[in-house]
Amino acid sequence: MSQSLKGRSVVVTGGSKGIGKGISRVFALSGAKVAIIARHLD
């Protein structure tokens, strides 16, 4: 992402695999605080 998310918080559901995992990484690399909700602890 080209936009900085520093200081923002996001919640990602389904974040242990696939698209949710990828989105979580992008948000984290953009400076956001990320809360991941998932059925698996992967």
> Which domain covers residue 36, as residue numbers?
1-7+10-42
Supply angle C-alpha 31, 36, 40, rounded to 5: 145
Rounded CA gap, 34 and 1, in Å? 15
pTM: 0.79
Residue-wise pLDDT for 2-41, tens only, equals 678 899 999 999 988 999 999 999 999 999 999 999 887 7
Please tell me the predicted confidence (pLDDT) of residue 1. 55
Q: Domain count of the chain?
A: 1
Task: Judge whether 3 and 26 are in contact, CB under 8 Å.
Answer: no
- For 37, other C-beta atoms within 10 Å of its C-beta total 11
pLDDT of residue 42: 65
